[in-house]
Amino acid sequence: MSVVESRAQACLKPEDAALLEQTWSDPPGVRGWFSAINHKTISLRFMITTFVFFVLGGLLALAIRLQLAGPDGKVVGADMYNQLFTMHGSTMMFLFAVPVMQAVATYLVPLMIGARSVAFPRMNAFAYWIFTLGGMMLFIAFFLNVGPDAGWFAYVPLSSLQYSPTKRVDIWAQMITFTEMAGLMEAIVLITTILKMRAPGMTLNRMPLFVWTILATSFMVLFSMPAVMLASTALITDRLVNTQFFNPLKGGDALLWQHLFWFFGHPEVYMIFIPPLGMISSIVATFSRRPVVGYAAMVLAVIATAFFAFGLWVHHMFATNLPELGKTFFTAASLMIAIPTAIQIFCWIATLWTGRIHLRTPLLFVLAFFFILVAGGLTGLMLASVSLDTQLHDTHFVVAHLHYVLMGGAVFPLFGAFYYWFPKFTGRLLNESLGRWNFWLFFIGFNLTFFPMHVLGLQGMPRRVYTYPAAMEWGGLNLAATVGAFTIAVSVLLFIINVLRSRRHGEPAGADPWGAGTLEWSVPSPPPAANYEMVPVVHARDPLWEAPGLPSHVSGLANDYREILVTSVADARLDHRLWLPSSSLAPFVTALATSVLFVGSIFTPWAVVWAAIPVAIGATWWFWPKKDIVEQRTGSEVSPYDVEAES
């Protein structure tokens, strides 16, 4: 049989396709909405929720910029200002930057690896609910005037009970618990999906670079988030039951907080930065009409970056009285981590150089990365020097640096990714002309906002000041920054308009509007509930670009229950089939119960005890198998020992 004929065969009969769609769809109705566990459904909700937090964080930033637009600002008072910058930082870092990457990953990774689902769909749903409830708690607190006000990294002793006597810091600390729990669960989901559910033939060597970045990031999550969980737990217990972790009068140490927090905090920014590196690879390849230069080098660079990111944290503490020799080690590490990033940048430029360029909005956002992130990375090298850092630390120079790397390194590529994959999510293209307006306003607005802050920092303006005297002559640059911030706001508004309009009136996209090479572009847009009518067999890195191989698809997976294929870790050889659980209210209900536990423990330690009971009930209900489903499955069960016996 020829390849062409086999490709034609790779379609189910219409009645089977309809049954498959039915099997993997979310149930209807209100109850169905809360029971949904299809990874694409959860992921779209997750993306929208994180985007809502992005907009809220942006509005907080606009308030900050209004207050700082001129000297002796009277727009808000000191107390509100301190809440504003704390909420802005906390929202962007905990409720947007990492979660959005996990959200995008939980949509794209199964499609890119030829899988029908993520590995633990109910846990994926639970992670979404826990995240959303935690974010809601934070903002409800803010609107009730109990929003945190000690900065997004809440240094002790300022954040201890003595100097922050209200519940504000407790809200912040517990928000961490919510969001980090969600992040950790998503990491487990993604690692297991990537390692065990790749389509047959997709060896690690054939995995898209984006999937590699998600794998690396997810491992980083496992080892870094525990640090902030431990730190925030210790802060909560210091405040609630009088432990003395951070009290120097009773043997504690203020720097213990900083070590624990930044051991998480530094990898955190790389967790924000690495997935967009994968997005850039996807976009650069498609719009240069060639695979990215140096696949192996790119993979090793990502792994190296992920690894070395754990060795830099002390560079956030260069102004403390830690030993100077130790600090120099961290200077060296902070400089050397630029090498793997440099490898990636040079490989991308080489790809563009030797490619044939299709210049569209996704690529524009990626090109902005080369300008903005590179600038941010270079100011990072400046900050890596202890001596320079002693002038620049805790000034607006750092504010400039962090926005250049986070927005240049993550937000711009993310917008490019939205323009790139929106057609896949919705079946329609975003408007290209609006896209260009969106891009240029964002680019210009961004630089207008944050470039002046480098100068302001050098001119002596510290961070986190609610106002400044007119005599300092900082007003002009601050005004420019405020104008820039509103320009960014307009550009984001254009994006929202583009999304809303294009959902209904955008140009229909078809399966592969960009002529791309990876598997997600082989399915309809939007993908059917089961992603693939027939799971593909992979023979190349860019299956849609390279010559197809045989066998081309998998047959024999059930259409009437949620059956997936489990393959081996390195070579994606067939291993076994697995039936995934069906939709359930349990993840949502358990998330509610868990939220009661977390919120309750802000007020009393006993909440941990009594609120654990409904959590245990919810989790047990979640796990407990249903008799009729089990009977159905035992009917067609195949034990690994039966298969061994036969072979």
Candidate segments 400-408, 437-445, 592-600, 622-630, binder of other proteins by CB under 8 A: 622-630
Of the residues 19, 243, 300, 571, which one makes contact with other proteins according to CB under 8 A: 243
> Cβ of residue 541: shortest distance to other proteins, in angstroms?
8
Candidate segments 140-148, 171-179, 402-410, 458-466, binder of other proteins by CB under 8 A: 458-466
Of the residues 16, 21, 571, 575, which one makes contact with other proteins according to CB under 8 A: 575
The tokens of 518 are what? 């990876």
* Sign of the dihedral through C-alpha 25, 29, 30, 32: negative
Candidate segments 40-48, 133-141, 268-276, 466-474, binder of other proteins by CB under 8 A: 466-474
Q: How many CA atoms lie within 13 A of 520 on its CB side?
A: 28
Contact call for residue 294 and other proteins (CB under 8 A): yes
Degrees (nearest 5) of the Cα angle 574, 575, 581?
110
> Cβ of residue 412: shortest distance to other proteins, in angstroms?
14
Distances from the Cα of 421 to the Cαs of 282, 360, 408, 494, 612, in angstroms?
10, 13, 19, 18, 41
8 Å CB contact between 63 and 75? yes
> Cβ of residue 493: shortest distance to other proteins, in angstroms?
28
8 Å CB contact between 486 and 68? no
Of the residues 27, 71, 526, 549, which one makes contact with other proteins according to CB under 8 A: 549
8 Å CB contact between 483 and 472? no
> Cβ of residue 556: shortest distance to other proteins, in angstroms?
3
> Cβ of residue 647: shortest distance to other proteins, in angstroms?
10
8 Å CB contact between 298 and 365? no
Contact call for residue 557 and other proteins (CB under 8 A): yes
Q: Which residues pair with 462 in a beta bridge?
A: 395
Contact call for residue 375 and other proteins (CB under 8 A): yes
Candidate segments 127-135, 165-173, 400-408, 546-554, binder of other proteins by CB under 8 A: 546-554
- How crowded is residue 508: how many other Cβ atoms within 10 Å of its Cβ? 11
Cis peptide before 148 (omega within 30 of 0): no
Candidate segments 27-35, 40-48, 455-463, 485-493, binder of other proteins by CB under 8 A: 455-463
Contact call for residue 382 and other proteins (CB under 8 A): yes
> Cβ of residue 28: shortest distance to other proteins, in angstroms?
27
Contact call for residue 565 and other proteins (CB under 8 A): yes
Cis peptide before 526 (omega within 30 of 0): yes
Q: How large is the angle between the packed helices 39-68 and 98-112, nearest 10 degrees?
A: 150
Size of the site for other proteins (CB under 8 A): 178
SS3 (DSSP) at 567: strand
Q: How far apart are CA 196 and CA 477, in angstroms?
A: 53
Contact call for residue 451 and other proteins (CB under 8 A): no
Question: 15 or 631: whose CB is closer to other proteins?
Answer: 631
Alpha helices in 69-167 (DSSP H): 78-90, 98-112, 121-143
Sequence-distant (≥ 6) Cβ neighbours of residue 387 within 8 angstroms: none
Q: Which residues of 340-361 are buried (b: 16+ CB within 10 A; e: fewer)?
A: bbebbbebbeebbeebeeeebb
Site for other proteins in 199-238 (CB under 8 A): 200, 222-223, 225-227, 229-230, 233-234, 237-238
> Cβ of residue 222: shortest distance to other proteins, in angstroms?
5
Question: 22 or 620: whose CB is closer to other proteins?
Answer: 620
Contact call for residue 338 and other proteins (CB under 8 A): yes
Site for other proteins in 383-402 (CB under 8 A): 384-395
Of the residues 52, 66, 254, 444, which one makes contact with other proteins according to CB under 8 A: 254
Of the residues 18, 22, 77, 508, which one makes contact with other proteins according to CB under 8 A: 77
SS3 (DSSP) at 360: coil
Contact call for residue 66 and other proteins (CB under 8 A): no
Site for other proteins in 97-156 (CB under 8 A): 119-120, 123, 150-151, 155
Question: Mask: binding to other proteins, 151-180, rule CB under 8 A, as x and -?
Answer: x---x-xx----x-----------------
> Cβ of residue 30: shortest distance to other proteins, in angstroms?
29
Of the residues 145, 242, 560, 604, which one makes contact with other proteins according to CB under 8 A: 242
Of the residues 355, 409, 416, 506, which one makes contact with other proteins according to CB under 8 A: 355
Alpha helices in 242-337 (DSSP H): 254-288, 295-308, 324-336
8 Å CB contact between 143 and 209? no
